[in-house]
């Protein structure tokens, strides 16, 4: 199992693959923005053989001026993945609690790190349980992996690049937060409300359901085209801290638009510098 694979895998297909001589490595990345820790859920039950990897402390760097979920240190990420049994060129399947957010950021992080054979279990842990598949409370002790982290396999944006993209006539910067946060009507997490001037709003609920299942490719293309995202235009995505936006990058990939860049620091990084402009209201506000 090597090379680039389609980014989603359904439960039945995963069951078949797990019965093979060389099954994919499973990573449980369940996470909630406001807690409790995903490891608590993992200990109650997980896919047999899955290793828990924490989004906040292992797949992201420490929060700070770079945002609430900045890029991880490559050496630390490599150590984490090797401890979880991730092998170079070998298939990895990530899953979360069902909304697809943490799993999408894990998918994005492994792809950014140069590990291409990684997929997301569509529907996450709830889909596995709903299919009547077995769960385990035993934490495995995998043989150490040999994956090598080589950052840069997926494009990223910093604040200056995001601003240029938002201002360009031949590009689109997507803000995938809920409309009231985009408009600056409310901001439950970060200290300043509003959006990057010039960014277009496409709330995540427009292309993915609350169960983490994505719309069909033709509908995804339609939803993205409605805000100006079409083939040949440069595209970037941001959210509050780069988790929901990673899911947007995955959705764009599914829609046949695989080159979208992630503004990893997202709004939490943008507002860390009070000199950066802020737009409010329901329109881009260039």
Indicate the domain borders of the chain: 8-130, 156-270
Tell me if 68 sits within 8 A of 18, measured CB to CB. Answer: no
Please report which confidence band the pLDDT of residue 5 belongs to, taking 50, 70 and 90 as the band edges.
Answer: low
CATH homologous superfamily for the domain 156-270 = Rhodanese-like domain (3.40.250.10)
Q: Is 161 helix (H, G, I), strand (E, B) or coil?
A: helix
Average pLDDT, the chain: 96
Region 214-219: what's the mean pLDDT? 96
* CA nearest to 122, candidates 219, 238, 254: 254
Q: What percent of the chain has pLDDT over 90?
A: 94
8-130 CATH choice from 2.60.40.350, 3.40.50.300, 3.40.250.10, 3.90.550.10: 3.40.250.10
pLDDT at residue 230 tops 70: yes
Phi, psi of 238 (to 5 degrees): -145, 165
pLDDT at residue 153 tops 50: yes
- Looking at the DSSP bridge assignments, the partners of residue 64 are 67
Tell me if 53 sits within 8 A of 60, measured CB to CB. Answer: no
pLDDT value for 36: 83
pTM: 0.96
Region 154-182: what's the mean pLDDT? 97
Beta strand pairing call for 261-263 and 234-238 = parallel
CB atoms within 10 A of CB 125: 24
> Which residue has 């006539």 as its token pair?
169
> Which residue has 């019965």 as its token pair?
19
pLDDT value for 134: 97
The DSSP code sequence of 186-231 is: --SSSSS-SB-TTPEE--GGGTB-TTSPBPPHHHHHHHHHTTT--T
Same fold, 8-130 and 156-270: yes
pLDDT at residue 2 tops 50: no
DSSP 8-state assignment for residue 97: S
Q: Which of 239, 246, 257, 262 is catalytic?
A: 239
| Residue 239 appears among annotated catalytic residues | yes
Q: What gap in Å lies between CA 272 and CA 161, rounded to an integer? A: 16
Please report which confidence band the pLDDT of residue 35 belongs to, taking 50, 70 and 90 as the band edges.
Answer: confident
Residue-wise pLDDT for 102-123, tens only, equals 999 999 999 999 999 999 999 9
């Amino acid at each position: 199992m090597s090379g680039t694979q389609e980014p989603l895998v359904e439960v039945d297909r995963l069951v078949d693959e797990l019965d093979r001589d060389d099954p994919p490595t499973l990573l449980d990345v369940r996470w909630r923005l406001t807690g409790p820790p995903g490891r608590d859920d993992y200990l109650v039950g997980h896919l047999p053989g899955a290793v828990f990897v924490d989004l906040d402390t292992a797949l992201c760097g420490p929060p700070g001026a770079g945002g609430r979920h900045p890029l991880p240190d490559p050496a630390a990420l490599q150590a984490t993945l090797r401890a979880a049994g991730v092998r170079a060129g070998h298939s990895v399947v990530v899953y979360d609690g069902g909304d697809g957010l943490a799993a999408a950021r894990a998918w994005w992080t492994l792809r950014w790190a140069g590990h291409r054979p990684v997929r997301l279990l569509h529907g996450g842990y709830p889909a596995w349980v709903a299919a009547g598949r077995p769960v385990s409370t035993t934490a495995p002790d995998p043989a150490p992996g040999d994956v090598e982290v080589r950052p840069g396999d997926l494009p990223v944006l910093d604040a200056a690049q995001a601003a240029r993209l938002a201002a360009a006539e031949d590009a689109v910067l997507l803000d995938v937060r809920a409309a009231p946060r985009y408009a600056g009507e409310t901001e439950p997490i970060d200290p300043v409300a509003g959006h990057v001037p010039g960014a277009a709003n496409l709330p995540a609920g427009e292309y993915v359901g609350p169960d983490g299942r994505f719309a069909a490719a033709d509908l995804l293309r339609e939803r993205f085209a409605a805000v100006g995202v079409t083939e040949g235009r440069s595209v970037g995505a941001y959210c509050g801290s780069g988790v929901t936006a990673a899911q947007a990058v995955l959705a764009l990939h599914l829609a046949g638009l695989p080159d979208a860049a992630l503004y990893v620091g997202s709004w939490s990084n943008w507002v860390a510098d009070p000199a950066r402009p802020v737009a409010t209201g329901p329109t881009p506000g260039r």
